[in-house]
Structure 1
Amino acid sequence: MTRRRAVAALGLALTVTVSGCSAMGGGSDGTVRLQMVESLTNPTRTALLKDLLADFEKQNPKITVNLVSPPTAQADQKLQQMLPSGSGVDVLEVRDQTVGPWSNNGWLHDMGKDLKSWPGWNDLTDKARKASTQNDGKTYFVPYGFYGASLFYRKDLVAGAGFQAPPASWDDLLKQSSAIQDKSKRRYGYAFRGGQGGFNNVTMLIGAYVADRIDTSNAYKLKDGSSIFSAPEASDALDTYLKIFKQGAPPSSVAWSYPEMVEGFSNGSTAFLLQDPEVIATLKESKALGADQWTTAPLLKGPGGKAVQPLGTAGWGIAQGSKHKAEAVKLIEFLSQGAASTTFAQKNSLVPILKKAAEDPFYRTGAWASYVTMANSPDTYVDVTQPRDAPWFTEWSQKADADVQKLLLGKVTAKALLADWDAYWTAKWQSEKG
């Protein structure tokens, strides 16, 4: 659920050209110049990064860092143009959905040996250490935080519709969204995601319906090795999903992606939003919603009383073509420990990577409380790993989004979609076996 998002959430884009590539290298005074490229850009985040980089430069006077901040929509494409050349980038933002194809192409440096002597490694949570180690045992990036979804909801609209509590299940969401929806008043239930990234909500929903049998190491598989899309419950899940769209969501949401769905909630027109914690910071700046009108609830459960939590992540990696890997490692270590890491996580509303940071009251009150609830009930809110490091995941995401659009528009049946998705993943897994 996609960082991949922040600039769109704010409706802003920071346009920065990559003409600074020539700045990478070394100076005549022995200073090393690193070029760092972020991809989930927004002005506030970029300003924060620059402050942290200034602190790093004070501690390391022989290293300067030039931060390049392309607009989010073009950032991955820009990096894919830069990385094959072997120049122009030292440190870069790597996400769970880009690490697979980029490492497969040989564009990322394995930091495993570099980090062996780093004391900060032991300060990371088990989840952070696990996320930094790919299936091939190599470390292509160190996470800066996690994106775990929760249900944002309007307390006033839920109570006004006669409900005593927010939705706890997908069926509850259907009931409450339908009850709250009133098109004549331009009041809608669920901020539906039918556009880019919409497939993620579909796979999360199906996962909740098969939670008892899901393979937690590959959330697209059942424990017997078959795909979740082949399960009978998957059809029931899509039936619920279509009803939510038709009975409790704005008609225009057939094309909504991240920015539109967040805006639909923050401007007060929808009652529910399933999103990552970064939205907490966005909503605090909303002019339409008061702090007492909204909060979050744990993830929605399936018929078996369980939900799945596919944690997304991103972090900092090093380009294989960098000529200054030692200095790049030093920068990543700085950003991944102590005050720098905690500050970045809190100000970007991320689940932290440091053990001590999770004990901070910041994460135990208000809208963050639902995350504590889920963390304390791992048997009910099951952490799963999606196969985002698969080399074909970008191909899959584009295909799946197009398929979801066809489903919502009535151009394909749920049965046909599930059969196609099952065939797609089964063939991919078989090809891996050789």
Structure 2
Amino acid sequence: MNKSLLRRLLPVAAAATALSLTACAGGGTQSQNNATGPVEEPTEEVTISYATWQTGDEINALKKEFEKEHPNITVEFRNVPAENMGQTLTTQIAGNNPPDAAYVDASSVSAFASRGALVNLDNYIERSDVVDPDAYVEVFRTFVTFEDSMYGLPIDGESTALFYRTDLFEEAGIDGPPTTWEEFEEAAAALTKPSEKQYGLAMFAPEAAYYWYPFLWQAGGDVLEGDEVVFDSPEATEAAEYYVGLSEYAAPDYLNANSWDGRLGFFEGQVAMYIAGSWFAGVTMEEAPDIEGKWATANLPEGPAGCGTTIAADSLVVFEGSDKQDAAWLWIEFLSQPENQALLTYGSPNGTLLPTTTELLEGPELVEEKPLLEGFAEAMQCGVNNVEQNPKGPRIEEQLNIELGRAMYGEITAEEALANAKAAAEEILAE
């Protein structure tokens, strides 16, 4: 099972912060800015290191296939937990010991690229018969673009939707999933039975910003406009007050958890509604087969300004500190082949991630293989990149996580949370 997108932005923000305080390892010996023609195979045997949290038969089978096609290249996996990847890479970059390539949260690409840690892939892409920038869904491509150049190849992604326990809905006399903010809160209230340790939904203070964003966009608000902080606008305040107010119906035992650990509450029927990306469908099928037929998915309820959902992605990158950049490129190019990307997303038994190219996302095979992904694919039209393409964006989001989390615990109001986060964000932007 490819446990992709099970981490959120605290690790990424920590990595971005650390990068701003440490010297980045540079000086890769294979600058490709002026190279032409196909990337040549190495003439001698080389081993490239690949940092990843991908596991399972699919990635291992692709490794064997790649090494068969490229007998002079051996891929050595450096297994790093998803939540530790940002900090691990930052430490390795500072120590001049980065991997040759890595599978990373795409929201970290801009921060790493701004510090010179990643190889600009434009020249490699120009020489490739596999990778075409225009083939990617635009929102996925923006994740890996810094100063008009691509520093990563988006490999998988997701939109965010509503998972709900149909059995608990039936018990509460609720006919179907909520479609508006009002219906969502009404359902949450009806499903909350503290004496039975059942709650309407799960909320996670450490990831507060990420799951607030859809409500922000549905209210017509935004995070940044250029270098101006706008997440305290009237629209944003309305969204924050609504979102924080939902904590009244949230399972308290999971409030300080994250969306990965909190999955158990949904499996065990302690939580009736769960906002998550499409990864959650695969995890539920794999880890909770006993609730098959007792859950379903739906688009997020719409707000005053209409629909809106968070988009997230993972990316393949090559490090500037590597002296095997050509071989590392051949590996990530191989993984990006359409049939391989399909296998790593929806093509495996419990794979429920979205592919990042328009051809695969809109092709018939996606829904044929995984019918439950149809809604997630359709939701892409309402999707917004959750991280502004500003290298300081992850640090700003960390402040939103802290302050909105405090509001969820009742320490401050939602309006105070936005004011505090804005003051911190403006200091960060002024650095």
- 1:30 is the counterpart of 2:33: no
| CA displacement, residues 236-263 of structure 1 (integer Å, 9 cap, x when unaligned) | 32332233211x2212232121223222
Amino acid paired to 2:285: K
127, 146, 164: which one aligns with 2:157: 146
Could you give the per-residue CA deviations for residues 195-246 of structure 1, whole angstroms, max 9, x where no partner exists?
A: x222211232222111xxx5xxxx41469x8644232233332332233211
CA distance in 1, matches of 2:271, 2:303: 22
Question: What is the rounded CA distance, in whole Å, between the counterparts of 1:260 and 1:372 in structure 2?
Answer: 25
Correspondence for 2:142 among 131, 134, 158: 131
* Residues 207, 308 of structure 1: 8 Å contact kept: yes
The correspondence of residues 189-228 of structure 1 with structure 2, limited to 5 A, is: 189-194=200-205, 196-210=206-220, 214=221, 219-221=222-224, 227-228=229-230
Whole-angstrom CA distance in 1 between matches of 2:93 and 2:388: 20
- CA distance change for structure 1 residues 354 and 126 in 2, over 3 Å: closer, same or farther? closer
- Is 2:199 the partner of 1:159? no
Residue type matched to 2:94 in 1? P
Residue number in structure 2 paired with 1:418 = 418
Question: What whole-Å deviation, never above 9, does each CA across 1:324-357 have from its counterpart, x for those lacking one?
Answer: 1111111111000132111001134211123443
Provide the residue aligned with 1:14 in structure 2.
none
Identity of aligned residues (%): 19
The structure 2 residue matched to 1:185, chosen from 196, 201, 205, is 196
**Conserved 8 A contact 1:96-1:312:** yes
Residues 275 and 287 of structure 1, relative CA distance in 2, 3 Å threshold = closer
Q: Is the 8 A contact 2:204 2:256 kept in 1?
A: yes
Distance 2:144 2:250 in 1: 39
Aligned equivalent of 2:116: 106
Q: 1:30 to 1:361 in 2, by over 3 A?
A: closer
TM-score (norm 1): 0.82
Larger deviation, residues 396-405 vs 321-330: 396-405
Aligned to 2:372: 367
Deviation string for 1:144-181 (max 9, x for gaps)? 11121011111222233222220112322211011011
Distance in 1 separating the partners of 2:412 and 2:143: 38
Q: What is the alpha-carbon distance in structure 2 between the residues aligned to residue 355 and residue 65 of structure 1? A: 29
Shift of 1:114: 0.8
Within 5 A, what are the aligned runs for 1:285-434? 285-287=286-288, 289-304=290-305, 306-346=306-346, 347=348, 348-358=351-361, 359-363=363-367, 366-375=371-380, 378=381, 382-426=382-426, 431=430
d(CA) in 1 for partners of 2:83 and 2:387? 22
1:63 aligned partner: 73
Alignment partner of 1:119: what SS?
coil
Question: Residue 107 of structure 1 contacts residue 319 of structure 1 at CA under 8 Å; is this kept in 2?
Answer: yes
Give the aligned length. Answer: 391
Q: Which string of whole-angstrom CA distances, capped at 9 and with x for unpartnered residues, describes residues 63-116 of structure 1?
A: 101000022332222211112333341011232332122112211110111111
Between stretches 292-301 and 121-130, larger displacement belongs to 121-130
User: Which amino acid is the alignment partner of residue 167 of structure 2?
Assistant: D
- Contact 2:169–2:191 (8 Å) recurs in 1: yes
Q: Is the 8 A contact 1:84 1:107 kept in 2?
A: no
Q: Give the direction of change, closer, same or farther, for the CA distance of 1:372–1:66 in structure 2 (3 Å limit).
A: closer
Contact 2:213 2:310 in 1 (8 A): no
Gaps of 5+ in 1: 8-24
1:295 maps to a residue whose letter is: A
Q: Which residue pairs with 1:19 in the alignment? A: none
Letter in 2 for 1:244: L
- Match of residue 32 from structure 2: none
Report the equivalent of 1:11. none
Distance 2:398 2:274 in 1: 23
Contact 1:151 1:297 in 2 (8 A): yes
Shift of 1:425: 4.1
AA partner of residue 233 (structure 1): E
Match of 1:237 in 2: 239
Contact 1:131 1:143 in 2 (8 A): no
179 and 366 in structure 1: CA distance in 2 versus 1, 3 angstrom threshold = farther
* C-alpha distance in 1 between matches for 2:290 and 2:269: 6
Return the alpha-carbon distance in structure 2 between the equivalents of residues 397 and 418 of structure 1.
11
With 344-353 and 319-328 compared, the bigger mean Cα shift is at 344-353
Structure 1 SS opposite 2:177: coil
Distance 1:286 1:87 in 2: 36
In structure 2, relative to structure 1, the CA distance for the partners of 1:119 and 1:132 (3 Å cut) is farther
Amino acid in the other structure paired with 2:405: Q
Query: Matched residues in 1 for 2:339 and 2:139: separation?
Result: 17
1:44-66 Cα shifts (integer Å, max 9, x gaps): x3543222111100111111010
Task: Determine if contact 1:155/1:294 at 8 Å carries over to the other structure.
Answer: yes
Conserved 8 A contact 1:199-1:404: yes
Alignment CA distance shift 1:129-1:201 (3 Å): closer
Unaligned runs of 5+ residues in structure 2 are 9-28, 30-41
Q: Which amino acid aligns with 2:367?
A: Y
Shift of 1:360: 3.6
Task: Say if 1:153 and 1:271, in contact at 8 Å, map to a contact too.
Answer: yes
Change (3 A) 1:371 1:130: same
Aligned to 2:261: 260
| Preserved CA contact (<8 Å) 2:403 2:418 | no
Normalised to the residue count of structure 2, the TM-score between the two structures is: 0.82
Q: CA RMSD in A?
A: 2.8
